């Protein structure tokens, strides 16, 4: 079963590792960086290996059974 989360942007974008931390998927930005480096995070269906990738409104970030929809 997929868990759906929504994240409200406060600016133009959020860095991927920070999104994982701010949405509560992981405990810290460092843990987020590790998950990204392991190749288990995807953005809009593609594996994303850039820890500081700019995630903008409309993107969907997936980690395991968790989906984070980024809202403007």
SS3 69: strand
- CB contact at 8 A, 41 and 59: no
**pTM metric for this prediction:** 0.94
Average pLDDT of the chain to the nearest whole number: 96
pLDDT interval class at 71 (50, 70, 90): very high
CATH code: domain of residue 17: 3.10.290.10
Domain range spanning residue 39?
Answer: 3-71
Q: Which two tokens stand for residue 68?
A: 């984070």
Looking at residue 22, the DSSP 8-state letter turns out to be: H
Tally of structural domains, the chain: 1
Distance from C-alpha of 46 to C-alpha of 44, rounded to nearest angstrom = 6
**pLDDT tens by residue, 18-47:** 999 999 999 998 999 999 999 999 999 999
**pLDDT tens by residue, 1-19:** 889 999 999 999 999 999 9
Distance from C-alpha of 51 to C-alpha of 3, rounded to nearest angstrom = 22
């Amino acid at each position: 079963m997929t868990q759906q989360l929504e994240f409200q942007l406060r600016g133009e974008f959020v860095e991927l590792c920070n999104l994982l931390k701010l949405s509560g998927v992981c405990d810290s930005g460092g843990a987020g960086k590790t998950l990204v480096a392991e190749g288990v995070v995807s953005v809009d269906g593609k594996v994303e290996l850039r820890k500081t990738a700019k995630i903008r409104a409309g993107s969907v970030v997936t980690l395991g059974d968790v989906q984070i929809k980024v809202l403007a």
